[in-house]
Amino acid sequence: MNESSICYKIASEPWEFDQIHDLNYRTFVEEIPQHQGNEARRLVDRFHDENVYIIALKDRELLGMLAIRAHRPFSLDQKVPDLDRFLPPAMRSLCEIRLLAAREQVRKGFVFRGLVNRLIHVGLNCGFDLALISGTLRQQKLYKHMGFVPFGPLVGSAEAPYQPMYITRETALAWQRLFPAFAEAEKEAQEVEMEKPYYFLPGPVKVSPQVKDALQAPLLSHRDPAFIELMRETRRLLTRLTHAPNVQIMMGSGTLANDVVSAHIALQQRPGIVLANGAFGERLIDHARRHGLTFQDLTLPWGQRFTEEQLGAFLDAQPHAAWLWAVHGETSCSVLNDLSLLKRVTQARGIDLYLDAVSTLGTVPVDLSHVKMASSVSGKGLASQSGLCFVFYSELPNAAASRLPRYFDLRFYEDHQGIPFTINTNGVQALNVALKQGPFQVRWVQVRKWSQRLRSHLQEMAVDWIGDREASFPTILTIQPKGQFNARRIGDELAQKGFLVSYLSEYLLKRDWLQCCFMSYRFTNQMIDSLAAELRPWLR
């Protein structure tokens, strides 16, 4: 088998996950008896939703795989008592490598090495200091050659013993410098780190060099067949990312997208519910009022999270409610409202769910299956240029659309290949590039690690942040300074030093809040540490 014919990537397609579950079963049920068999002969890992899968493909055949997971407790926490005592000191950003498996015909070839190389590349991009693995005794020589350090007692069973091992960031960097492509990625990261200002803003965000090139590409007509195909592909990438059946792309901001959603709700002429626990939930209430919707609102103090009991009781008290509209990521107070909870309570009562996903798309998983309609934008978590907004939808209402303004009529977009009006073609090209940069499974991990790093610094300063800890939105940290310094003065001083944070929005100025956001294309540990060092004299 030719090594150049193998593609190493992050799993993203349904058929790739089907083969992952099949290989998982073959390896860890039939070959290594770690799990019970089943009639379907598929094994879905218990941490599947948290795993990032790195896979080796030849054409459409899965040859090998491994998974990387960043959430503790790790599986090794359950097998090695007091795990941290075996690890190097001062390691704050850990991950675990799991489910390393390959088809029998390629186990002694280059597939294993290729998977680990790709793993190290992903781990370095995510900012991990240390990676743990339970390594099979059959491959100990190769593991040690690559820099893995064994520790502690063997785990597993007599039939399938494993050696706990770790690899440090420094060792991984030394290994990757042997590979030109990885060295180039490291050089790009260093260049990004040197470029000030640093954008810790919810928008505008710093984009990648590739997105910047797309913005400066020669102009296309929005009627050009090449652009029509580009638009079709871009919409397909958006629906694949979100599991939404349909999407339309428009010129405008998230406010426009929410007006479109509100206008389509109004066609139903049925009562509903709007949720609010921050500034953007309150904006949804304003949208609903301006469009003359009939609704009740459930408004909580800013930063509080909605509970299942609370939502269930409120919905049960509104038996005629046909829809519910909520914000996924409440930017104002760093709260991530539970999308699975919103789906559960609405589906149980036959209520349509509408969602504002303006701040979440791109930085956390956003699964829009079973969501009637949702809004988002290009210029935040997707790390592209602002100016485009999206409306995702499962189906269009049956009511006559002639009552809608032409620009709001999603059926009109459908009838014109998604391009009924003039649109910024360069903006769509840039969005297309940003969507392909991914993989977003890695970006979601990166955002969490960047956020955790800054939160650790704030904890060391004894500085708290706004919002419910159990519903924390990793993309945004909202801080209220205490003492003699206010948020505006701190923000002004930071801007002069090249650190752009958010503090000038009306709701922030009113409450003397300051926000640090992780929506730009890339951050580095050094950038985050530098921001923390600048914040320390002001916040400590």
Per-residue model confidence as pLDDT tens digits over 409-418: 999 999 999 9
Q: How far apart are CA 337 and CA 83, in angstroms?
A: 33
- pLDDT of 183 > 70? The answer is no
- pLDDT of 520 > 50? The answer is yes
Helix axes 339-347, 308-316, angle to 10 degrees: 30
Give the model confidence (pLDDT) of 105-145 as tens digits. 776 667 887 888 888 778 877 778 889 998 878 778 878 87
* 313 and 346, same domain (yes or no): yes
Give the pLDDT band of residue 13 (cuts 50, 70, 90).
confident
Domain contains 135: yes
Give the pLDDT band of residue 174 (cuts 50, 70, 90).
confident
Domain contains 189: no
Nearest in space to 278 (alpha carbons), one of 306, 254, 256: 306
Q: Tell me the two tokens of residue 496.
A: 């002069």
Q: Find the mean pLDDT for residues 162-174.
A: 86
* 475 and 376, same domain (yes or no): no
Residue 373: beta bridge partners? 354, 393
* 448 and 422, same domain (yes or no): no
- pLDDT of 160 > 80? The answer is no
* 482 and 348, same domain (yes or no): no
Q: What is the pLDDT of residue 90?
A: 67
**In CATH, what number is assigned to the domain containing residue 445?**
3.90.1150.10
Nearest in space to 234 (alpha carbons), one of 211, 212, 216: 211
- pLDDT of 182 > 50? The answer is no
Domain contains 161: yes
Give the model confidence (pLDDT) of 459-485 as tens digits. 999 888 898 887 889 999 999 998 788
* 227 and 372, same domain (yes or no): yes
The answer to whether the CB of 364 falls within 8 A of the CB of 50 is no
* 252 and 168, same domain (yes or no): no
* 432 and 466, same domain (yes or no): no
Residue whose tokens read 């790790």: 74
Q: What is the pLDDT of residue 111?
A: 84
Domain contains 190: no
Domain contains 384: yes
Give the model confidence (pLDDT) of 276-329 as tens digits. 999 999 999 999 999 999 999 999 999 999 999 999 999 999 999 999 999 999
* 243 and 254, same domain (yes or no): yes
Question: What residue numbers bound the domain in which 65 lies?
Answer: 3-184
* 16 and 138, same domain (yes or no): yes
* 420 and 506, same domain (yes or no): no
Q: How far apart are CA 116 and CA 97, in angstroms?
A: 10
Q: How far apart are CA 120 and CA 143, in angstroms?
A: 13
436 phi, psi to nearest 5 deg: -85, -15
Q: How far apart are CA 149 and CA 36, in angstroms?
A: 31
* 37 and 128, same domain (yes or no): yes
**Count of the separate structural domains present in the chain:** 3
Nearest in space to 198 (alpha carbons), one of 540, 537, 539, 535: 535
Give the pLDDT band of residue 173 (cuts 50, 70, 90).
confident
Q: List, in order, residues 6 or more apart from 383 with CB less than 8 Å away.
A: 205, 206, 207, 208, 211, 362, 434, 437, 519, 520, 521
Domain contains 241: yes
Domain boundary among 373, 407, 437: 437
pTM (2 d.p.): 0.80
Residue whose tokens read 């301006």: 290
* 74 and 176, same domain (yes or no): yes
